[in-house]
A = this chain, B = another copy of it.
Amino acid sequence: MLTDAREIMQNQAATGSKARPSTKAHNASVDLIAVVVAMTEHGPSVLAVGAGDALPSGPFEHGHRSLQSGLRGWVEHQTGHQLGYIEQLYTFADRDRIGEEGQQRVISISYLALTRAEHSVGLRRRLWRSWYDFFPWEDHRTGVPTIISDVVEPRLLAWASEPGSESLRRERRQRASFAFGLDGSSWNEELALQRYELLYEAGLIEEATRGSERRAPPPPVPGAKMIADHRRILATAIARLRSKIKYRPVVFELMPPVFTLLQLQRTVEALSGRLVHKPNFRRLIEQQELVEETGETTADTVGRPAKLFRFRHAVLDERVAAGTK
């Protein structure tokens, strides 16, 4: 783990961060990518463009005042949708791409944005797709999906039984059990990214088997694919959001101004992919003083009319830690 010879030879006086060698500009193009989430009739949904298999994105341009405003601009251009809450996800460097003057580095900065589907303006090419179209194994609201025991588990076990060292096989079985709640492990909805990466590593994701790979790739696990690594970015967003709703009041970005507690509960359940205990959920929300009654009740559907609530925006000043679990 020592510095290799070349590095040592090159070392001269260390330079402070501002005294960088300016002999040559090392430029890259910068891409902004958005995972825009809203609740639709089909569940927790993500805004897609193109053939419904791409996240809205575009280059960071000189005219953009900031990264976030650049992102807002592209999403509005491509989907006619205004963004509210925005949070950065991750930055990564794509493989080199061939540009006009030889190879060109591309930096991609991904964001998670939350809105309401009705915020759209006009009817451009815009598509809401349930995120469970892309990750059918992530929806546990009606129990463990059959796809796990029917497809995911056997194929992961096959992968974990491939030739190799026994310790490698044991490690693979262990990771699979932990990520998907097999054997004695319990399901943890926040591991969405680990699950995707595990399937990817096992060659069970369509995007993973491309070009000159091995001779017989196993058939991929069901789930709509996306271009490039957009599905991985979506998995990152889902994991982040599932984690965040537990300690920050971000669900309300997805709610209409006025809602019932059951509607709020259904939203949380849709995001986390699992059911919650109704009486406890209501107590938790009211006890945290996240909402206040409007005084109105629902008149519409069947059943006893429910009180209507609105989010207490004041909690954003009062406390940092407050969420739905």
Contacts and interface: CB of A to CB of B under 8 A. Distances in A.
A152 B143 CA distance: 52
B178 A104 contact: no
B29 A29 contact: no
A94 B264 CA distance: 39
Interface in A47-100: 49-51, 54-62, 66-67, 73, 76-80, 82, 88, 90-93, 99-100
A27 B28 CA distance: 5
Contacts of A191: 320
A48 to B, nearest CB: 9
A59 to B, nearest CB: 5
A8 interface: yes
- Total copies of this chain within the assembly: 2
Contacts of A319: 178
Interface in A76-135: 76-80, 82, 88, 90-93, 99-100, 103-105, 107, 109, 119, 121-122, 124-126
A76 B19 CA distance: 16
Given A14-B77, A14-B125, A107 B30 contact: yes
Given A2-B121, A92-B67, A320-B191, A76 B7 contact: yes
Contact of A28 (B18, B60, B76): B60
A82 B1 contact: yes
25 contacts: A2-B82, A3-B76, A3-B80, A3-B121, A8-B122, A14-B78, A14-B125, A15-B78, A16-B51, A16-B54, A17-B49, A17-B54, A17-B55, A17-B57, A18-B54, A20-B57, A25-B100, A26-B29, A26-B60, A26-B61, A26-B62, A91-B109, A174-B318, A188-B320, A194-B320
